[in-house]
Amino acid sequence: MGTEAFKGIYFNGEQVSPKEDILAIEVALSISVNEIPFTVTMQTPGDEFNLARGLLFTENIFRSLSEKPEMTVTTTNESGFITALNVKINPDLILHDFAGTRNVISSSSCGICGKTSLDDLECATVNNTDVMEPELVPSMFDKVNSRQKTFQQSGGTHAAGAFTIDGELMNVQEDIGRHNAVDKVIGYLINHDLLGKVKCLTVSGRISYEIVSKAKSAGIPFLAAVSAPSTLAVEYAQEAGITLMAFCRNKNFTVYSNPHQLILGNNQFKVGRSNTINDVKELK
């Protein structure tokens, strides 16, 4: 199963209501070769052996078409998803050394993980005392869209925008990769001594674990995206103290984590993983 139901709070520009969405599951998979850590990749559960085989082939680690490496599952999580596996390969068939270093870009879509061990995936809480008015979110995307010059010309780039708690635009960056656009914005803020003023980050496309991780590293407590979040993005945002808003289109969006940081009135709607499809209206 590659999807899971999550509760959110839907904002239509004026009112809030409970909402349940089906999100793509994202799980960190650690791959070792001969018990030496190779990489951690974010992936949708299923076909892990095929993923490992293909990744080792395309990264020129193991390209034999006749030899069948032995693969074993070394760790699973509480949901039964594979989180670590080891690939046993004849050392004579390994094409170049990778031991102890991260030497491959390993991602779900285009996000770079940059880790060799699951122990590297740590979480910290973003310190925040500000609350945001939800009505500001649509105007933030309007401001970013008006400054997407490369996208307007090519239709082929993503954008990230940085805003104050009052919706003032600090910077917009474009790149063919949405993760690169986020890194460019954060770099600009650091170089211009503006990072402490920024409270919200907007991104085009979807939100994976990597985007949440970048926002957390920069101490940004609000994160909004045009498209869907993954399950791991939602859970990581909740743990990190980040308010994650997705499907931000027109004047609508859905809140998936830490809704208390938004001025949504006296609602008591749940957010997070759903136990059943029918409990979306259950109150705390």
List residues with catalytic annotation.
110
- Residue spans of alpha helices (H) in the chain: 48-58, 136-146, 149-154, 178-191, 209-217, 231-240
Is 188 exposed, middle or buried (CB count within 10 Å of its CB: 0-12, 13-18, 19+)? middle
Report the helix count and the strand count for the chain, using DSSP H and E. Answer: 6, 13
150, 155, 158, 164: CA torsion to nearest 10: 60
| Interatomic CA distance for residues 122 and 257, integer angstroms | 18
Q: How many CA atoms lie within 13 A of 48 on its CB side?
A: 29
| Interatomic CA distance for residues 111 and 33, integer angstroms | 22
Buried b (16+ CB within 10 A) or exposed e, 120-146: ebeeeebebeebbebebbbebbebbbe
Stated length of the chain: 284
- Residue spans of alpha helices (H) in 72-177: 136-146, 149-154
